[in-house]
Amino acid sequence: MDSTNVFAARYAGSSAGGFSKANTAILRVAYLIAASDKDVNQGEREMFKKTVCALQGLKMGDDDTTEFIENVVEDARKLSILRDFYDEGELIKAFVSKVSKDISAIQGNKVDCRRAFAVWTSICMSDGEYSDFERKIVKALQAAINGVSLIGIASIASGLGAGALGMAFCAPIVGVAAAVAGAVIGSKVNGTSEKLKGFGPESCIPDAFLKEVEERCREIDEAQEQLSKCTSNDNRKAVEDSLDYLVESFNDFINNVES
């Protein structure tokens, strides 16, 4: 199995494909994540291209592919400008605002939500480093998907300040949930209580799901690295079989909304 086929199975999910609003939203957010704290490097671009082909069924060079790439790269350029003006909290607030329509396009289907975080996590890990800031972005997206309003998320990002926000999002996963919940529950927005709908086990995207996705991505990355170092056909076949199993298991996990 070559890396492209592994990628298609790993991130697209067995039921994905076709030009849909949800898939477009997933891809757009993925590229913006890659551009949020630094310029998109070659490895991230290659990963994004494979994701576009696998998830959306687009072909490089086609008119609709060209239009999509031009639009998302331009949005990323605008986001990169803000890095010179905003601290981390302000940049996260601006990021979530920019992708609010994309979140709405994904929220209606739990499998789309789960697939989205598989893609986003893979993009974050594609350069071998899942940075602290990328984790903060993913946690903000988790809050948005789970029903915390844009105003509530902005309150977290701006109200805690960059230092406190970093401490909260860099804490262990369980600690993150508690920190965000504590910041949001009970806050007043336009006279109403801004309630946190989803960081518990019954939420659309619980903390345990994000942790599992990261672990599975890392396992597949390690298997792919091992495959690249195989020196015999027998060894290569054994690693390929293991990789096939990991990919199939990951797809089953993503599509099983009860897990």
User: By CB neighbour count within 10 A (0-12 exposed, 13-18 middle, 19+ buried), where does 195 fall?
Assistant: middle
Q: Which stretches of the chain drop beneath a pLDDT of 50? A: 1-18, 160-197
Which tokens go with 2?
């070559």
pLDDT at 4: 37
E strand spans, the chain: 188-189, 192-193
Six-digit token pair at 121? 């996590």
Q: What pLDDT does residue 185 have?
A: 27
Rounded to two decimals, what is the model's pTM?
0.75
pLDDT at 65: 85
DSSP 134-163: HHHHHHHHHHHHTT--HHHHHHHHHHSHHH
